Amino acid sequence: MAADNLIDGRAIADQIHTDTAQRVASLKSCGVQPGLMFVRVGEDPASKVYVGMKERTSARLGIHSETLVLDAETTQSHLLGLLRELNADRRFHGILVQAPLPKHISEQIVYSTVSPDKDIDGFHPVNVGKLMLGAKDGFRPCTPAGVHELLIRSEVTTTGAEVVILGRGNIVGKPMAAILCQKDQHADATVTICHSRSKQTAEHCRQADIIVAAMGVAEFLKADMVKPGAVVIDVGVNRVADSSAKNGYRLVGDVDFANVQPIAGKITPNPGGVGPMTIAILMQNTVTAAERAAR
């Protein structure tokens, strides 16, 4: 299988990490230690893995990180109180509350409680508003910002492009649309969002120059939905049963990769595409927060 159309997210993330490490070194030379606090509520296995990956990347780049682990029964009011304390703690420039949270805790209220200046996830209403307005001084959500960086560094033309985003979630779909429809360099696209209630999703996809698959449905995007030469970005992470696998399952994306790759002009592998970029942008946002605090 030819690999010349693969977008290597790991390699691009490493480029960003190199720049981030240099910025960390510059801050340290001025007596500023970038700090990042992870907050995890409960023992969700995937959350533990994700936070562990972020901790290791922080250490590699010279960012001080700590993880606050709370019991799954922690009340919302207790969590909000801790977040307000962290907002005032000058050792930490970024705060990340790992999703998912227990059902009795409102993610929206939690994200609204984190200071917008430390909201490196880009979920605070202030940062969401700045994204919609095209302001440059907010934090963009890490995954769509990472996808945008993949497109830029892979020299994908977005100006005037027809883009279909599969999924309307607050973490990827909506902010991805907001990024790509801005009147700005590396944007200026015509964006269509398709979701579970859309009636002609396949038809929309067949018209697209760029497809960002973030619907959360295993291998949803099939070869007959992709125009030859289109750029395909696979954001999805889905667990499917596999009796031959050690754990009885395997992870697949939202794209039927084996059949779509021969058709696509460029395509992200999964894993190795969007995932590394999400962490790279998270670290970049943390250093940006530290630089702003040092001014």
Amino acid, single-letter form, for residue 184: D
Please report the beta strands in 229-268, taking only residues with DSSP state E, as ranges in sequence order.
231-234, 238-241, 249-252, 266-267
Q: At what angle do helices 45-61 and 274-294 cross, to 10 degrees?
A: 60
| Of 180, 175, 140, the residue nearest 160 (C-alpha) | 180
In DSSP terms, which residues pair with 163 in a beta bridge? Answer: 191, 210
Amino acid, single-letter form, for residue 155: E
Catalytically annotated residue among 8, 28, 44, 121: 121
* Site of tokens 């946002």: 285
Q: Is 207 an annotated catalytic residue?
A: no
Catalytically annotated residue among 54, 130, 174, 266: 54
Q: Is 188 an annotated catalytic residue?
A: no
Radius of gyration for the chain, computed over Cα atoms and rounded to the nearest angstrom: 19
Q: Is 98 an annotated catalytic residue?
A: yes
CA distance 100 to 120: 17
CA distance 186 to 190: 12
Catalytically annotated residue among 98, 209, 266, 284: 98
- Annotated catalytic sites, by residue? 54, 98, 121
